[in-house]
Amino acid sequence: MISIEPVAAPGAPLARRNPVAKVAAALVFSFTLLATLDPVAPAIAIAVELAVLPLFGVRYRVLARRALPLLLSGAGILVTLVLFAADRSGRVLLDVGPVMVTTGVLLTALGLILRVFAVALPGVIVFATTDPTDLADSLIQNAKAPPRFAIGALAAFRLVPLLGQEWQMISMARRARGVDAGRNPVAKLRLFASTAFALLVGAIRRGTRLAVAMDARGFDADTPRTVARRQRFGPADGLLIAGAVVLAGGALTVSVLLGTFRPLIS
C-alpha cells in the first residue's frame, strides 16, 4: 500500500513550518549540489540532512523505509557504471572477462550515488512531514499558484495510493483467469509489462474523468476563490530557506577548500 500521509511528530519544530517554505528550502538545498560532481559535497549534505531529521519529527527507520527506492537506484547506478563506464582510470581492483572494476569507476559511482541521495532526501523529508491539502493551500496563498494547478496536483497526489491497489487487483484478476508466468523470467517480464500498460490506461482514463469533473465544478474559472484554512508565511519560514542556502553553500565551500570540487560545467 502506497502511503502519502505525513509521518512526522506533530510537535516537531521544522515539521510545523509553512509547506511552501519547506519545498523552497528543499529545492535550494538540492539544486545547489548539482553544481559539483565530487563525492565530498553530497556526503556533507547527507550528513546535514540526517542531523536535522529529528527536528522534522521523522524517525530514521521511517525515512529508510520511504527512501528504499533510492537504495535500488543507487545499486542500479553502481552496476551500470561497472559494466559500461568509459573511464577506467585508476588502480584495477577486479578484472574478470568484460568486467573491469577500477578505483576511478568506483569513485565516479560513489559521487553519483551520493548526489542522488543528497538531492532526493530533502524531497522525501518534505513530503513525509507535509499534509497534501496544506501544501495545495499554501501554493495558492503563498506561492500564488493557479488554483487549477494546485488543486489538480492535490487530486493527483491523492490518487497515488490507488495505483498500488489497482496493481494488486489487476494481478489478482489475471491470476483468477489462469494468467500466471510461473518461474519463466521472460513470461514474468511480459506479464509485468502488460500489467503496467493496463495500469497506465486506467490512470489516464481516471485522470481524464477527474479533469472534466474539476472543470464542471468551476476550477478553470477566473473567479477569485476563498480559502478554508489560512497558511501563514512567517519569519521562521524565511530563516528555514536562508538556512538551507547557508548549509548548501557551506558544503560546496568545504569541497572547494579540500580541492575535490569538480564543476558540472567546466
Query: What is the structure's pLDDT at 266?
Result: 61
Backbone angles phi, psi at 230, to 5 degrees: -80, 130
Express each pLDDT in 138-181 by its tens digit: 998 998 888 888 888 888 888 888 888 888 898 888 888 887 77
Q: Global pTM? A: 0.80
> Does residue 240 surpass a pLDDT of 90?
yes
Which candidate, 168, 164, 138, 161, places its Cα nearest to that of 151? 138
Which candidate, 131, 145, 153, 123, places its Cα nearest to that of 33? 123
Task: Supply the DSSP string of 195-262, one letter for each residue.
Answer: HHHHHHHHHHHHHHHHHHHHHHTTTTS-S----SS-----HHHHHHHHHHHHHHHHHHHHHHHTT---
Express each pLDDT in 31-50 by its tens digit: 888 888 888 889 999 999 99
Query: What is the structure's pLDDT at 25?
Result: 93
pLDDT, greater one: 222 or 176: 176
pLDDT band per the 50, 70, 90 thresholds, residue 3:
low
Average pLDDT, the chain: 85
Q: Which three cell numbers stand for residue 87?
A: 573511464
> Does residue 1 surpass a pLDDT of 60?
no
Query: What is the structure's pLDDT at 244?
Result: 93
The number of beta carbons lying within 10 Å of the beta carbon of residue 6 is 19
pLDDT, greater one: 234 or 83: 234
CA 169 to chain CA mean position, Å: 26
Query: What is the structure's pLDDT at 23?
Result: 93
Q: Which three cell numbers stand for residue 188?
A: 514474468
In the chain, what percentage of residues exceed pLDDT 90?
A: 21
pLDDT, greater one: 196 or 158: 196
Return the minimum-mean-pLDDT range out of 2-11, 124-133, 138-147, 188-197. 2-11
Query: What is the structure's pLDDT at 127?
Result: 87
Query: What is the structure's pLDDT at 245?
Result: 93
Q: Say if CB 9 and CB 215 are below 8 A apart.
A: no
The number of beta carbons lying within 10 Å of the beta carbon of residue 191 is 18
> Does residue 70 surpass a pLDDT of 70?
yes
